[in-house]
Every structure is written in structure tokens, then in C-alpha cells.
């Protein structure tokens, strides 16, 4: 049977990762769709369900679908739709043929275009009213998504929805989000004069390390990228931090590294930085990546060289002169 589809786009002032997260986080879905409840099993083959109506046991409307493509941060496809509408009754055609595909086109790191395409509506008159309602409905819904992305609609739960911090795995390492339990080890690394020698030269108190970890986690929220905790896969030990960094006023998009003294010299910084570089290039589309290294930091220079970076200029961070090493793809 011939089918028809409709499509609309909206530009969002957030990175693609955040836009994708908004499509699969129940708190976000409730905010942009006005749903009373949402449940998502965020994986290929998972469920994606939203319900409307004050009475939890007798919702006015339920839409349930299966996730048939889960490709963060660029593509989410929902199919096999099942609808329950208490007032209108069943759909006059088979809703299982419908698909809704979200495509996120990243333009740069700070914004993206979200496209929604709904397909599979029969061309005959049975689907006319539903097709028209969906066409208008999705235009309004995208406006809702834009308002949530701009922060004009508060998310319904406490705090702001956390960003999805990806987990990267290499042969020996797992790069993951920092968590509260990491504070002790991280504070120990930052209280080591050898580790801090070229990072300002002053050791940090536990409170300073805690605040710095909070900055690293918050960096993901504000920028859509950030540093990972580097964990050894074989025993879960936290080795240090490696990843992307570009706080306000930074002289470029940096990939940086710090490994606790007892774990240095085993290639961990290089292995983690290679995975970070690949992620920055593939996911963020970065082609110019810098490493800011104080003169005399030979170990750090050695890591930069192994990554293929070259000195390309000078800059200052926190009043400290650094050499800008540059990796280009
Ligand atoms: C820089 C740092 C992250 C490297 O971590 P790592 O896991 O030991 O790094 P890798 O093992 O992948 O590589 C280290 C390289 O430095 C070399 N190296 C170490 N100390 C060196 C020294 N004093 N002089 C010359 N080369 C040195 C090692 O030989 C190795 O190179 P190789 O593989 O060619 O032999 C780690 O030393 C560190 O955390 N330092 C303190 C924090 C810091 O300064 N961070 C960088 C800020 S720009």
C-alpha cells in the first residue's frame, strides 16, 4: 500500500549529544512533550513509552514504540507504534507500519539541527485526520524541544538532566564519568608534588581536588564534552584523568592528561589520549586539537610526540606560559 510521510527540522542551541539525550531521557520527554510519564529502555530493541492524563491507572493517551535504531548522538528510530486513546478509540489503520526517525545533524560543538520524519501513513482517507494531526503536532513538539533546549522550560525533576557521558574502552582501559567515590584517589594524585610540578607547581588540598572534579563533571554539562576518569579494566583502579578540556578563555580545544605517579611509564596516558582523540574526531568532528604543555614537562611532551603532535606556538593558562602542541587529522 502506498504511504506518505512528513518531516520538520529545528535548530537547537545545544550539542548533538545533549539533543540525543533529550530524546531518550524520561524527564526531558515529559518536559518537551507535556507527557505525564515516560519510560525508555535506551538501547536497540528497547521500549520508548509516554503517557498523558492525571490518572496513572487510566491514562488518557499512551504511545508506545520499539527503538529500532539507537545510534547516539545522530540517529534514533522508533517503530512498531502502539497507541491507546481512551476518548478516540483505536486508530482506523494499522499503526505498526508507522516509524518516527530523529536525525541530529551537528553543525559545530554548540548547536545542531534536529530532524523528525514520520513515515508509513497510508495514503487513503482512513489516515487523513491522524496524518494532519501528526504534522501539526510535530511542528509544535519541535518548538517544545527548542524551548527545553534553551532552558525556557524547567525539567520536571530536581536539578538539570545530566549529560550522557560516553564510556570508551581500549585494550587495558575504561574511560568513564567521574563519580563521588573517585575523590579520594584524585585528591591523592593532586597532592603529589611530582604530579603537580608542571600544573601550577602547587599541590592541592582535598577540597580543591573535589572542586576541580566538580568542574570536570560540569564541563560535560556546559560543553557536551570533557575529561574522563581513566580506570584500569583488569581491576577497576582509577589511574588518572584524560580527555577534552576547553574552559572559558582556553586557547583551543585541548586533550589533556594526568596519571597518578605509581601508574606512570606504562603507556596509560598515550592509550587513553588516543581513544580521546579518536572520539573527538569521530563524534565532535574536531580536526585541530591542542595539548598545552609547560616547557620542561618531558613526559608530557613524549606523550604528545607519540600522538603525532608538534609544537605550534605559545600561550598562557592561569598566568603560566605553555607551549601549544597541535594534533591535526
Ligand atoms: C604526562 C603523564 C600524563 C604521562 O603519563 P604516562 O602514563 O606515564 O605516559 P605514557 O606511559 O603513555 O608515556 C610517557 C612517555 O614519557 C616518557 N618519559 C617519562 N618521563 C620522562 C622524562 N623525565 N624525560 C623524557 N621522557 C620521559 C616515557 O619514556 C614515555 O615515552 P616512551 O613510551 O616513548 O618511552 C604523566 O607523567 C603525568 O601525569 N604527569 C603529571 C601531570 C602532568 O604533567 N600532566 C600533563 C600536563 S600537560
Domain coordinates in residue numbering, the chain: 3-149, 168-328
**148 neighbors 30 (Cβ within 8 angstroms):** no
SS (H, E, C) 159-182: CCCCCCCCCEECCCEEEECCCHHH
The whole-model pTM stands at: 0.61
Predicted local distance difference test score (pLDDT) of residue 133:
85
Residue nearest to atom 44 of ligand 1 (CA): 198
Mention the CATH class of domain 168-328.
alpha beta
Any idea of the CA torsion for 212, 213, 214, 216, to the nearest 10 degrees?
Answer: 90
Distance 262 CA to ligand 1 centre (A): 12
E strand or H helix that includes residue 246: none
Supply the DSSP string of 13-68, one letter for each residue.
SS-HHHHHHHHH-HHHHHHHH--SEEEE--STT-EEEEEESS-TTS-SEEEEEEEE
Predicted local distance difference test score (pLDDT) of residue 154:
52
Predicted local distance difference test score (pLDDT) of residue 140:
84
Q: In a 3-state reduction of DSSP, which class is residue 131?
A: helix
What is the third-level CATH fold of 3-149? Alpha-D-Glucose-1,6-Bisphosphate; Chain A, domain 4 (3.30.530)
Q: pLDDT tens string for the chain (329 positions)?
A: 789 999 999 999 889 999 999 999 998 898 888 888 899 999 999 999 999 887 788 888 899 999 999 999 999 999 999 988 877 777 888 888 899 999 999 867 788 999 999 999 999 888 888 888 888 888 888 988 888 887 765 554 434 455 678 889 999 999 999 999 999 999 999 999 999 999 999 999 999 999 999 999 999 988 889 999 999 999 999 999 999 999 999 999 999 999 999 999 999 999 999 999 999 998 888 989 999 999 999 999 999 999 999 999 999 998 999 999 999 86
Distance 309 CA to ligand 1 centre (A): 14
Rounded to whole angstroms, what are the CA distances from 27 to 37, 78, 152, 180?
8, 18, 15, 23
Diameter over CA atoms, the chain: 75
Fold: same for 3-149 and 168-328: no
Q: Which of 260, 266, 253, 269 is nearest to 301 (CA)?
A: 269
Q: How far apart are CA 316 and CA 101, in angstroms?
A: 46
Ligand 1: residues whose CB is within 6 Å? 195, 198-199, 256-259, 264-270, 293, 297-300, 302-303, 306
Any idea of the CA torsion for 51, 55, 60, 62, to the nearest 10 degrees?
Answer: 20
Predicted local distance difference test score (pLDDT) of residue 325:
98
Predicted local distance difference test score (pLDDT) of residue 61:
87
Task: State which ligand 1 atom lies nearest to the alpha carbon of 270.
Answer: 12
Task: State which ligand 1 atom lies nearest to the alpha carbon of 293.
Answer: 48
Residue nearest to atom 18 of ligand 1 (CA): 299
Amino acid at each position: 500500500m502506498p504511504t506518505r510521510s512528513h518531516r520538520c527540522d529545528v535548530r537547537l542551541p545545544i550539542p548533538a549529544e545533549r539533543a540525543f539525550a533529550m530524546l531518550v531521557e524520561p524527564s526531558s520527554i515529559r518536559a518537551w512533550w507535556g507527557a505525564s510519564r515516560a519510560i525508555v529502555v535506551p538501547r536497540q530493541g528497547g521500549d520508548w513509552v509516554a503517557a498523558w492524563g492525571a490518572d496513572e491507572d487510566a491514562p488518557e493517551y499512551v504511545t508506545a514504540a520499539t527503538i529500532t535504531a539507537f545510534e547516539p548522538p545522530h540517529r534514533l528510530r522508533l517503530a512498531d507504534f502502539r497507541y491507546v486513546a481512551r476518548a478516540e478509540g483505536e486508530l482506523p489503520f494499522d499503526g505498526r507500519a508507522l516509524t518516527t526517525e530523529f536525525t541530529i545533524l551537528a553543525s559545530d560543538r554548540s548547536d545542531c539541527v534536529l530532524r523528525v520524519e514520520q513515515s508509513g501513513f497510508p495514503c487513503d482517507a482512513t489516515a487523513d485526520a491522524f496524518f494532519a494531526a501528526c504534522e501539526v503536532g510535530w511542528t509544535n513538539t519541535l518548538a517544545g524541544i527548542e524551548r527545553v533546549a534553551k532552558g525556557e522550560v524547567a525539567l520536571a525533576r530536581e536539578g538539570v538532566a545530566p549529560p550522557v557521558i560516553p564510556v570508551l574502552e581500549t585494550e587495558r582501559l575504561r574511560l568513564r564519568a567521574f563519580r563521588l567515590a573517585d575523590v579520594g584517589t584524585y585528591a591523592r594524585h593532586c597532592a603529589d608534588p611530582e604530579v603537580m610540578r608542571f600544573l601550577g607547581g602547587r599541590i592541592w588540598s582535598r577540597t580543591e581536588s573535589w572542586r576541580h572534579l566538580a568542574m570536570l563533571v560540569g564541563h560535560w554539562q556546559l560543553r557536551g564534552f570533557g575529561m574522563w576518569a581513566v580506570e584500569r579494566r583488569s581491576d577497576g583502579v582509577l589511574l588518572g584523568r584524560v580527555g577534552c578540556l576547553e574552559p572559558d578563555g582556553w586557547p583551543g580545544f585541548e586533550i589533556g592528561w594526568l596519571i597518578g605517579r605509581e601508574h606512570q611509564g606504562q603507556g596509560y596516558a598515550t592509550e587513553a589520549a588516543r581513544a580521546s582523540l579518536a572520539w573527538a574526531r569521530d563524534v565532535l568532528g574536531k580536526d585541530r586539537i591542542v595539548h598545552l604543555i609547560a616547557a620542561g614537562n618531558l613526559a608530557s611532551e613524549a606523550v604528545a610526540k607519540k600522538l603525532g603532535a608538534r609544537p605550534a606556538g605559545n600561550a598562557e593558562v592561569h598566568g603560566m606560559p605553555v607551549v601549544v602542541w597541535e594534533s591535526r587529522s
